């Protein structure tokens, strides 16, 4: 699936916009499992060409209430960025904890070629990335996943792991029982066996994969060393800013740790609890077969996920390709583009006339 690398023909100054309604329509028309498969394929392609990208840790503005971030990256053809917030208190006030939008542009002329909502899309790309990584790191034949935190990401993760990894059972735990009930309702027709648990110790029983996905902006140990047996894969997607962790440090010391972009993960991920020289492995090297995936069945593997801009770039690239195939969108008049590029003022005068 290749993106168009220039604005839509005939509308050189018009930018395709995929709204929340468009995104939901796109996912429902294609089917969420197909979308997750295609997103994972796009992310894997881009991870395998990791050295081609301009990379930097995201630009973050932290406050006592949360964080607002910009996540930029570029290859030779396209530039992309995502605006995203994370405000754990929002749920109590009737707002989303995380919202986002993104832009994809042509490097050749700097024109935006896509504006898209990324609140739904981020949940999809996060789930697709988690499951893609688990294909490399999780125990072969894993069938059961434990989910700590049953908020907005939970169902996406469960369906992605069913679709890409082959789990058939998801065990749920959240201190908010209503959140667990919500997930159980939403997954009732997913083909997954859903087990509601009442403690952290209970939820990990029999699980080969453990996903941690909590929102509080604090160091909160929700997974302790005694809860994690040998051979488990941990998908730690909740810790994503300085001072926000979910795993006890001793778990990290027992695990082989895999990350997206070390300069960002060392600041925001679980490994902020470790020294700067503690060994970690970059996932793109595993996907390019530069480093072998773990083969010891007793090895604990840990994906210390914080989300990186290349994953968002892949997601925007995917949506842009879908738009090129006729996916729902509208065209926005975002760019001032006079007939004579030097006469921007004249365009303003003519508009008044």
Coil, strand, or helix at residue 332?
Answer: strand
Q: Side-chain half-sphere of 81: how many Cα atoms within 13 Å?
A: 11
Do the Cβ atoms of 228 and 210 come closer than 8 Å? yes
pLDDT-derived band at 197 (thresholds 50, 70, 90) equals very high
Annotation says 240 is catalytic: yes
What secondary structure letter does DSSP report for 91? G
pLDDT above 90: residue 47? yes
Active-site residue (options: 46, 240, 304, 312): 240
Query: What angle in degrees, to the nearest 10, is found between the helix axes of 32-47 and 20-30?
Result: 100
pLDDT at 8: 42
pLDDT at 88: 82
**DSSP letter string, 268-297:** HSGGGGS-TTS--EEHHHHHTTSSPPP--T
Q: How far is C-alpha 332 from the geometric centre of its chain's CA atoms? A: 26
pLDDT at 2: 52
pLDDT at 9: 41
Phi, psi angles (nearest 5°) of residue 154: -60, -50
Question: What is the overall mean pLDDT for the chain?
Answer: 92
pLDDT above 70: residue 10? no
Residue owning tokens 């893609």? 132
Which of these ranges, 10-14, 245-249, 261-265, has the smallest mean pLDDT?
10-14
Coil, strand, or helix at residue 94?
Answer: coil
Residues 6+ apart with CB under 8 A from 257: 270, 271, 278, 279, 280, 281, 302, 304
pLDDT above 70: residue 348? yes
pLDDT-derived band at 3 (thresholds 50, 70, 90) equals very low
Which of these ranges, 4-18, 102-116, 302-316, 328-342, has the smallest mean pLDDT?
4-18
pLDDT above 90: residue 163? yes
pLDDT tens, position by position, 97-151 = 889 999 999 999 999 999 999 999 999 999 999 999 999 999 999 999 999 999 9
Strand boundaries in the chain, DSSP class E: 14-18, 59-63, 66-74, 78-86, 100-106, 112-117, 144-148, 169-173, 193-196, 209-212, 219-223, 233-236, 245-247, 255-259, 281-282, 300-304, 330-333
Phi, psi angles (nearest 5°) of residue 192: -95, 145
Q: What is the pTM of this model?
A: 0.93
pLDDT tens, position by position, 219-233 = 567 888 899 999 999
Using CA atoms, how far apart are residues 153 and 91, in angstroms rounded to an integer?
Answer: 14
Coil, strand, or helix at residue 155?
Answer: helix
pLDDT: is 238 or 338 the higher one? 338
Do the Cβ atoms of 172 and 154 come closer than 8 Å? yes
3-state DSSP helix/strand/coil % of the chain, to nearest 5? 35, 25, 35
Bridge partners of 212, per DSSP, are: 148, 236
pLDDT at 188: 97
Domains of the chain, earliest start first: 14-120+310-352 (3.30.1780.10), 137-307 (3.40.50.720)
């Amino acid at each position: 699936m290749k993106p168009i690398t220039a604005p839509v023909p005939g509308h050189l100054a018009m930018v395709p916009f995929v709204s929340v309604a468009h995104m939901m329509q796109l996912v429902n028309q294609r089917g969420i499992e197909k979308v997750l498969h295609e997103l994972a394929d796009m992310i894997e392609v881009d991870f395998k060409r990791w050295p081609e990208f301009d990379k930097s840790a995201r630009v973050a503005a932290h406050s006592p209430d949360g964080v607002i971030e910009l996540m930029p990256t570029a290859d030779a053809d396209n530039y992309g960025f995502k605006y995203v917030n994370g405000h754990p208190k929002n749920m109590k006030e009737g707002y989303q904890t995380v919202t986002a939008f993104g832009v994809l542009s042509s490097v050749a002329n700097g024109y935006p070629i896509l504006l898209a909502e990324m609140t739904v899309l981020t949940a999809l790309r996060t789930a697709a990335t988690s499951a893609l990584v688990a294909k490399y790191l999780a125990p072969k034949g894993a069938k059961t996943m434990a989910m700590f935190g049953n908020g907005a990401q939970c169902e996406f993760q469960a369906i992605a792991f069913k679709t890409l990894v082959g789990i058939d059972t998801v065990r749920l735990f959240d201190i908010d029982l209503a959140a667990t009930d919500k997930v159980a309702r939403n997954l009732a027709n997913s083909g997954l066996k859903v087990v509601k648990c009442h403690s952290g110790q209970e939820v990990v029983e029999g699980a080969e994969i453990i996903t941690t996905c909590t929102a509080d902006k604090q160091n909160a140990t929700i997974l302790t060393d005694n809860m994690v047996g040998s051979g488990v894969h941990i998908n730690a997607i909740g810790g994503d800013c300085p001072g926000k962790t979910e795993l006890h440090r001793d778990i990290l010391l027992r695990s082989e740790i895999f990350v997206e972009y070390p300069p960002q993960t060392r600041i925001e991920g679980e490994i902020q609890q470790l020294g700067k020289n503690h060994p970690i492995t970059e996932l793109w090297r595993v996907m390019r077969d530069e480093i072998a995936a773990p083969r010891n069945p007793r090895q604990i593997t840990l994906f210390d996920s914080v989300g990186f801009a290349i994953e968002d770039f892949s997601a925007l690239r995917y949506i842009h390709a879908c738009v090129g195939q006729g996916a729902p969108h509208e065209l926005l008049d975002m760019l001032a583009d006079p007939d004579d590029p030097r006469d921007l003022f004249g365009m303003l005068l003519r508009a008044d006339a």
